[in-house]
Structure 1
Amino acid sequence: MDPKDFAGTTDPLVAEGWIRSLEAIFRYMELGDADRVRCSTFLLKEDAALWLEGVEKTVDLATLTWDEFKKLFFEKYFTADVRARLKREFMSLRQGDSSVAEFVRMFKRGCHFVPLIGEDEAEKLQHFIDGLRPTIRRDVVMAEPADYATALRRALRSEQSLRDISAEAHGKRPFTQQGRSQHHHGKKP
């Protein structure tokens, strides 16, 4: 386990990712609140260390819980307005010209920020299907998936089928036109 230092950032996703990476380590090591806070504050460097000095003037770090630390940290590095913007983006997320794989990456990230959808299987399934490109959505809906994993597999298959159809159409069109034109002139193809 190699926890990374945190020097501060203007990218809220980096800050949120740092906390998530620490939480994975803390769960593995089965650390309690006090140890989590102590470990996290040790990893704060540069601007983040200065932020912590300001926090220490109003909060007793010795009694600070992990949830309280995260709340203070997110107030600084992953603000409520950023979280609200990410939620809005997720609620209007559409596949557009993205591949299914890229859409899934954005969808999973959004599920993390909107747990009411991400943690409810029926909501997650519906939101995923609604965001798919119409040609892929049609194939997924027709398969009547029971869950998100099934819908995802069907979406990936549909996308591959559409690529195959497109490649076949592009690959055979000149040959077919040439064959027809030769046939019409009394020549064998």
Structure 2
Amino acid sequence: MSGAPSEESEEQRLEREARQKAEADEAARNQFPPPPPPMTQQNFLQYMQMMEERQRITMEQQNKFFHDLLQQNKVERPENQGVTLSDFQNTKPISFAYAPEPMDAEDWLMDTERKLNTVGCNDLEKVRYATHLCGPAASWWDNIVAVYPADKVFTWDEFKRKFRESNVPESIVELKRREFESLEQKDKAILTYVREFSGLSRYAVEEVNTEDKKKKRFMRGLNPQFKVQLRILAKSGDGP
């Protein structure tokens, strides 16, 4: 008569369950790639520096293009000949219709002025070609011109001032600056916070005009739990 199978002890059961869990974990690791390492404070700063570096490289490329174009114009155009609209359009200017954000309008104005200077436009040519670019927004300039005598000649500084009054009003810029001052991550994704920080910081340049200021302001707005995690990671990365 064969004996009945021995009953599994509690210790054996725990060992069996632990072994099964280890095997299941191993199978899961083989099936799915490991998650990416958590982002650290250094990662965030590197991300922001990378974005700034991309902007710098883009600006350098544009400046080289404009410099080469300027040299070409010096060779091909006699000194006493003015700049034509075709000359200006060779710089691939961007048409302006409407800017959802004030700094978008400011960017357009600065980009246009740089291109006007590149081809050597005089004051009158700058106004003429800049207003030619306004497209659907041309009615804004037409309304301004209509209230002045027909022989009124606008300077480039006058155009810039009126353009900013309409599209980069100080009241809106001030609201954006205050929005940056109160910006916090809260429950936003970290990359969303980074994008908002980068966009709004343009309205408060004096608060982020050094790397130290930018770092402190960025950290101040982080979610408290995320901030604690970063500090723990920073300490663990320092070693014993």
When normalised by structure 2's length, the TM-score is: 0.48
1:109 counterpart residue number: 199
2:131 counterpart residue number: 41
Q: Are the counterparts in 2 of residues 117 and 124 from structure 1 also a CA contact under 8 Å?
A: yes
SS in structure 2 opposite 1:101?
A: helix
Q: Unmatched 5+ residue regions in structure 2?
A: 1-90
Q: 2:144 aligns with which of 40, 50, 55?
A: 55
2:188 counterpart residue number: 98
Partner Cα separation in structure 1 for residue 227 and residue 185 of structure 2: 10
Distance 1:99 1:39, change over 3 A: farther
Partner Cα separation in structure 2 for residue 120 and residue 62 of structure 1: 38
Structure 1 segments of 4 or more deviating over 4 A? 57-62
Partner Cα separation in structure 2 for residue 121 and residue 33 of structure 1: 38
Structure with more relative contact order (C-alpha pairs < 8 Å, separation 6 or more) = 2
Q: Determine whether 1:16 maps to 2:103.
A: yes
Larger Rg: 2
Partner Cα separation in structure 1 for residue 205 and residue 114 of structure 2: 20
Aligned-residue identity in percent? 25
Partner Cα separation in structure 1 for residue 116 and residue 229 of structure 2: 45
Q: Are the counterparts in 2 of residues 16 and 78 from structure 1 also a CA contact under 8 Å?
A: yes
SS in structure 2 opposite 1:138?
A: helix
Distance 1:58 1:109, change over 3 A: farther
Q: 1:71 aligns with which of 136, 147, 161?
A: 161
1:21 is displaced (CA, Å) by 4.0
When normalised by structure 1's length, the TM-score is: 0.59
1:25 is displaced (CA, Å) by 5.9
Q: Unmatched 5+ residue regions in structure 1?
A: 145-153, 155-189
1:69 is displaced (CA, Å) by 3.0
Aligned residues: 139
Distance 1:95 1:58, change over 3 A: farther
